[in-house]
Amino acid sequence: MNRPRMRPLRPSLRRRLLLALLVPVGVLLLLDALLTYGVALTYANRVHDRDLSNDALTLATMLGNDRFDGELTPQARFLLEYDPGGHSYFTVSSARHGLLASNGQLPQPAQVPAIGARPTLYDAQLAKHALRAATVHIAMRSDPGDSLVVTVAETLHDRHQQAREILLLASVTQTLLIAGVLSLVWFGVGRGLHVLDPLTARLAARTDELTPIDGSDVPLEIRPLTQTIDALFGRLRGMLILHDRFIADAAHQLRTPLTGLSLHVEHAMANPQPEIVADALLHIQRLVRRAARTSAQLLALTRAQAPSLETGERTLLDLARFIPEAVSERVHEAIRAGVDLGYEGGGQALFVLGDAASLHDLLDNLIDNAVRYAGRGSTVTVRLAARADGGASLSVEDNGPGVPAELLPRLSERFFRAASNNEEGSGLGLAIVQRIAERHHADVVYRPGESRGLCVEVRFPAPPAILDRPA
């Protein structure tokens, strides 16, 4: 039996914020517990050390004041041996009589304190018990020639017990405090996220509006997101503008051939004579080719005007190999048009960073513009040369009628055509060249040819030095 698959949890900003706070707070609580226990144990040690020193000094003073004949009195022995918890140990020795009383072989300090000095505190070990001991050295009042060394020790059980009690009390208080803080954090995160409500409401109220959404009410932390969305909206607006421009250009450019098609069809239908029908079909064929070419150029112009591709999708191209191959594809078409198409270039490799398909469209439009406007019997030369800055220069020159100098700056405008006998041009070829060159960070220069005509030069920048040259 197939069990339904669990849907993965969707990312939650609230959950991520709370986790980012809860985990550090939990770690902080653990560290605080360790620190509290250490402080409590230090405090308990100080209190017990002080009490232990006082006990040793009090006991020694009491024993030193009694009349002493070499043995402890019953009252002194009862005081030493009385311990309800069974955690105390003692040793009493006399300088003259030796060991007087003891309930365990307590290790003595490395150096016995001087008579009348403050008690010496030290750590000791008896069997398996860790002890804390205090030793005091006093003179006997009943026997000025004798002195007593009294050592009192206790286990560490009471110290740790007291530290645990302090830790328990502090942990309860701190846990309640942290719970209160986390409740405030939960409430604060929820309230803080409400600052996005105006932005959410503005976006929900939109239909097809692509204006920027970044405003004064957008929090600083959200601004990178809104700025990214605004950039996306900007690209979408550009694409929509290109879409509308393509529709307008298509309607503008296809209206004339479509109108001509309709007129020739009506003329042939009104006069169904063979010679009239044949003439109409010839005109229809020419108009269909013109419409097809115009459509292809409109699509090429739209691609060239689209947002640039990421540089990572481009490659290093050797123009010294790429350009001759592209020129050879147009030789047969140039021969049919009665144009002598040639290529001039050195043998050295010339690299540019670009898109092969776009550069192929660029060269096709340059050659097509030269072949169409130079006319039958003309010469078109494609040249490739290296530039002094490491870039490459691609030029297409013809010896046709040329273009007046005052019109050269307008050649890259859409639908602009210089005065010519050729009426089949769409005025889009050089506009496509200009857009493709801009996407490759290249400059387009228009100038008269060496023998009349027109020369169009595309100057490509040097490729980045960080890229490796292909083999």
Question: Across the strands, what pairs with 344?
Answer: 383
At residue 260 the predicted structure's pLDDT band, cuts being 50, 70 and 90, is: confident
Tell me which range, 130-144, 227-241, 321-335, is most confidently predicted by mean pLDDT.
321-335
Q: Is 70 left (phi over 0), alpha (psi -120 to 50) or beta?
A: left
Tokens 């003595």: give the residue.
Answer: 108
Q: Is the pTM of this model over 0.75?
A: no
Is residue 158's pLDDT more than 70? yes
Please tell me which residue, 197 or 445, carries the higher pLDDT value. 445
Q: Are the beta carbons of 147 and 139 closer than 8 angstroms?
A: yes
d(CA 424, CA 381): 22
Domains and CATH numbers, the chain: 15-164 (3.30.450), 225-305 (1.10.287), 312-460 (3.30.565.10)
Quick: pLDDT tens for 385-399.
998 888 899 999 998
Q: Are the beta carbons of 393 and 323 closer than 8 angstroms?
A: no
CA 216 to chain CA centroid, nearest Å? 25
Quick: pLDDT tens for 183-205.
877 777 777 767 777 777 777 77
Quick: pLDDT tens for 276-289.
778 778 877 777 77
Beta carbons within 10 angstroms of residue 236's beta carbon:
11
Query: CB under 8 Å to 184, separation ≥6 — which residues?
Result: none
CA 173 to chain CA centroid, nearest Å? 41
d(CA 470, CA 321): 13
Quick: pLDDT tens for 205-217.
776 677 777 666 6
Q: Are the beta carbons of 314 and 439 closer than 8 angstroms?
A: no
